[in-house]
Structure 1
Amino acid sequence: MMLQLRRAAENLEKDDGWGGRGVEKMMWVGKKLGLEWAEVEKTMAQKANKTKKRWEMETGKIIVEKVRGKSTLTKCFSKYPLKFINPKNVAPSQTDVVWIYAITYGGGIVSGDSIACDITVGDGCTTVLTTQASTKVYKAVGTKISEQVLKARIGSNAFLAVIPDPVTCFSTAKYSQKQVFKVMSDSSLLLVDWITSGRHERGEKWDFDLYRSMNNIFHNGDEPLFLDTSLLEQGTCSDIAERMQDYQVIAMVILLGPKLKHVQNQIQEDVKKIMSQSLHMPTIGSRQSTSRHNDHHLTKPSFLASCSIFGPKGIGVVTRIAAMTTESVYNFLQHQLSSMEPLLGVKPYSYAS
């Protein structure tokens, strides 16, 4: 019996189909169930509080749908400390794509900030979520952690590209982010998730206290497809800088779905070539020749990368990177993603050239 009342409350929350007569409908349902108005009112209040809490937590919401055959931003909501910008001149007008820039007031995430963003990419739509500069995470105040959560739903034959600049955590910063993507069997997703060691000009290299990044992809509802967590935390036995050695950037690139098949094939081939050259062991003769010049020390590769496939029939490819410079990662991303210009209107990360 109460199920009917809850459904009525849900419809009241949506405020659709009843022509604004939601309260009247609730009273009618309650009367039919033999309930007192107090019980009806209690149910309504519970639903209202639930809705209010959800909106209080949500700092950003984006919905992209097909309107007259073109990908269109039909809802764009943001509040402090998040702001969305939807420029119209990023891609040529004939390219069916919506570009959205996520920025924060003050140019970074302050200790204790909590950002929650919800994105829906409708069937057949293409959307890009990016940034204007690196995401700065300021110093922690006490035990406060800066948090960021992104939840995205990608419709049938839809494509979402999340291609931000890297996260840069200041000294003592504590940062945690979680990104959850729900995809269909023919959805496509490009995700770049990366972090630099800090503000080198101030001598900060891996000086933050905590960095945690979770990336989860669910297939056709709640079927786990890809679950990943990266954790960098200062330890009592060794600090992050010691464990990272000379590497100043770590990155992960996820390519999923039919629209990215050509990029998947290319990046796997290129990573094989790069690592084959970087890790090539010289012959005995060449070792004897070079040892006189380098005192038997082998040069540490400045750029490391690996590729692996995931999902049924290998529908996804994940590339992991460790590099000594941010520029080398930008160059890698520019080269590997340049073939996506027809889909996105411009080459990803081309501005960093």
Structure 2
Amino acid sequence: MASVSRARQAHVPMIASEHTPTAEVARTSRAGSAKLAFERVGNRTVVTTALAHSPLRLLTPRNHGHAAWVYTSSLGGGLVDGDHLSVELDVAEDSAALLSSQGSTRVYRSPRGCRSELSARVAPGALLAWVPDPTMCFSGARYTQSQDIQLAPSASLVLMEMLTAGRSANGERWAFTHYASSLRVHREGRALIDERWLLDPAHGALPARLGRFDALGTVLLVGPALDSAREALAAQVGSLPVTPRSGLVCSASPLGPDGLVLRVAASSAEALLRTTREWLSFLPSLLGDDPWIRRG
């Protein structure tokens, strides 16, 4: 498996999927920002603030559950050279929010680089599910992302992060120039997880380092709302047999008294998507509706 640089934790995980751009994307620098706020009103959560600046867009579909849903999208179908996107969100006390993406994050060839940032604050008793689609870096892409989440006592978090090998069918398997991702989750000033992934061919050819794996992923579960799900998943993943040359390698690591980190590497996007969806099969009951079925 590849040598991936990180500050804390070990192992590798994420997801894959293939897309082909339908038009040439202009290499124009764009800065897009968004602000989101969720509050509980009666027995439901509502979006009280949803401000976005191009090229970012926010979609707020209705659902049958008690949680509020928001999907992000980008004009142009992906990130081009010089793009910088940032999202700030607040989840108020006892509310429940789902934040996802309308599709995979495509990062096109970008000599100067692209970056995205997420900053979130989750209040006591609140739940944030941050479950975007995979990131897919094309040949020559340079991409940096950061995720910084502050959890109050009794707040809960579901987080999924996935990376694909790229357009493998086009001969662009792990052909990007640079990928860096940092994840920081704090509670009351104490770090629950603080890690950084770095994949760069300057440290060795990526296809050789990543071997048979075309998709990597992480699932993070923290907080009291996820107690039963964490216990079941820790037992399930911990009991998996170790099979030589397996197309799917998984691990589960406890994170403090009420956290769990799941890592996965897969030889195909389909296997990884299937696995992570199975891991998060509890999410529809937690939200009151199924965000994946409703997206078709």
TM bucket, shorter chain: 0.7 to 0.9
Residue 177 of structure 2 corresponds to: 209
Structure 1 unaligned spans of 5+: 1-55, 280-298
Residue 195 of structure 2 corresponds to: 228
Instruction: Report the secondary structure of 1:235's partner residue.
Output: helix
Higher share of residues assigned strand:
2
Q: Note the C-alpha offset of 1:352.
A: 8.9
The 2-side partners of 1:339 and 1:347 are apart by 10
Of 266, 270, 274, 1:327 maps to 270
Q: Note the C-alpha offset of 1:345.
A: 2.8
Paired letter, 1:244: L
Whether the aligned pair in 1 keeps the contact of 2:104 and 2:134 (CA below 8 Å) is: yes
The 1-side partners of 2:277 and 2:202 are apart by 35
Whether the aligned pair in 2 keeps the contact of 1:125 and 1:159 (CA below 8 Å) is: yes
Residue 163 of structure 1 corresponds to: 131
Of 63, 67, 76, 2:50 maps to 76
Q: Note the C-alpha offset of 1:68.
A: 3.7
Whether the aligned pair in 2 keeps the contact of 1:339 and 1:347 (CA below 8 Å) is: no
The 2-side partners of 1:350 and 1:197 are apart by 26
Alignment deviations for residues 256-279 of structure 1 (CA, whole Å, 9 cap, x no partner): 0011111111211221233x1x43
Matches within 5 A, 1:147-186: 147-186=115-154
The 1-side partners of 2:171 and 2:288 are apart by 38
Greater RCO structure (CA 8 Å; 6+ sep)? 2
Residue 5 of structure 1 corresponds to: none
Alpha carbons of structure 1 residues 352 and 250: separation in structure 2 relative to 1, 3 Å? farther
Matches within 5 A, 1:46-125: 59-88=33-62, 91-92=63-64, 95-125=65-95
Whether the aligned pair in 2 keeps the contact of 1:62 and 1:75 (CA below 8 Å) is: yes
Of 153, 158, 163, 1:190 maps to 158
Does 2:234 align with 1:268? yes
Of 114, 117, 125, 1:146 maps to 114
Residue 257 of structure 1 corresponds to: 223
Alpha carbons of structure 1 residues 348 and 86: separation in structure 2 relative to 1, 3 Å? closer
Whether the aligned pair in 1 keeps the contact of 2:31 and 2:54 (CA below 8 Å) is: no
Paired letter, 2:50: C
The 1-side partners of 2:294 and 2:140 are apart by 30
Higher share of residues assigned helix:
1
The 1-side partners of 2:38 and 2:180 are apart by 29
Structure 2 unaligned spans of 5+: 1-29
Q: Percent identity?
A: 28
The 1-side partners of 2:245 and 2:291 are apart by 29
Root-mean-square deviation (Å): 1.8
Whether the aligned pair in 1 keeps the contact of 2:57 and 2:72 (CA below 8 Å) is: yes
Whether the aligned pair in 1 keeps the contact of 2:32 and 2:54 (CA below 8 Å) is: no
Of 104, 107, 124, 1:134 maps to 104
Paired letter, 2:258: I
